[in-house]
Amino acid sequence: MWVLVLFPCTWFVIPPLLLCYSFARSARLRAHRLFPVNAHRRFDDPQVWRVQKARAWTAAAMSVLLLLVYGKPEDFGEAQQQYMLRLAATPPLLLVSAPVVIALLFRVASPQTRAEMRARVRAAGRTALWYVGAVTTVPLCLVGITLADRGSTAAQDPWYSTVLTPALALPMVWLLFFLGFATGPAIRSGFNAAEVHAALPALLTGVLVWEFAALSLAAGGTPPGPPLVQLLALLGGPASVTAVAWWEIGRLRERYGIRLRG
């Protein structure tokens, strides 16, 4: 408060910053309560993380090498567009794919495992609904603000917009902070899929990588290079991710007794 007294010119800066900080702190606490940062690590296996990291760096290096050897100038821009497309498509694809994979896993699981999974599925579903609700409410708030502004202009009543705009803008700002803090942990954990079954993150990864391959093929076509290189680039990445995912599931079975069936 002493800053406001000593520097009156900051009155229009400090209060909004303090409000944004309180919103960010509140949204971060709520996001990490719903989607813990380490929720995807139900069993901490350093060997799995090392293999996953090595595969990711190898894939990134091969992608850059492919662009440098066979790519055209426009291919670099297209690669950036596909990367942004994947970032935008990951949450909806995960929300659609997770129920299907959970249903298939539920079908092959033993009766005892099904009973344990039911309560966990409900808990994971509630957290996913929080995320879906936030994503849905943000554009609704934007529409409400736009309509309030137009209504104020048409009615020549500035108080109409003055009251409604903050009432919609403040929740929208909080929700944007919430989505910013929740999206990363939610994607890594498959919307808390690991709490339902320890093998679900690996299964979801194996499914999503093929969906991304189909999406990239539909949006940008085949990678640059000769036909054989195109085929290897198109299938090699998803195949390697799938192989690592099944290897991880095998380690869960051998080290922790986690099984898909029975």
Per-residue pLDDT of 88-98, as tens digits, reads 888 888 888 88
Distance CA 143, CA 258 (A): 47
Distance, in Å, from the CA atom of 243 to the CA atom of 239, rounded to the nearest integer, reads 6
Give first-to-last CA distance, the chain, whole Å.
63
Q: Which residue has the higher pLDDT, 61 or 219?
A: 61
234: confidence class by pLDDT, cuts 50, 70, 90 = confident
Q: What is the pLDDT of residue 144?
A: 86
Predicted confidence at residue 8, as pLDDT, reads 56
Query: How many CA atoms, within 13 angstroms, populate the side-chain half-sphere of residue 178?
Result: 22
Residue 161: per-residue pLDDT: 65
User: What pLDDT does 153 receive?
Assistant: 65
pLDDT band for 3, please (50, 70, 90 cuts). Answer: very low
**Which position has the token pair 């996913």?**
128
Please tell me the distance from the alpha carbon of residue 262 to that of residue 35, in angstroms, as a whole number: 28
pLDDT for 172 equals: 92
d(CA 193, CA 126): 12
Q: So what's the pLDDT on residue 181?
A: 93
pLDDT band at 29 (very low <50, low <70, confident <90, very high): very high
Helices and strands (H, E) in the chain, number of each type = 9, 0
pLDDT band at residue 180, thresholds of 50, 70 and 90? very high
Per-residue confidence band for 12, with pLDDT thresholds at 50, 70 and 90: low
Q: Where are the domains of the chain?
A: 87-194, 198-261
How large is the average pLDDT for residues 222-239? 83
Q: What percent of the chain has pLDDT over 90?
A: 14
pLDDT of residue 138: 92
Residue type, 157: D
- Give the separation between CA 103 and CA 100, rounded to whole angstroms: 5
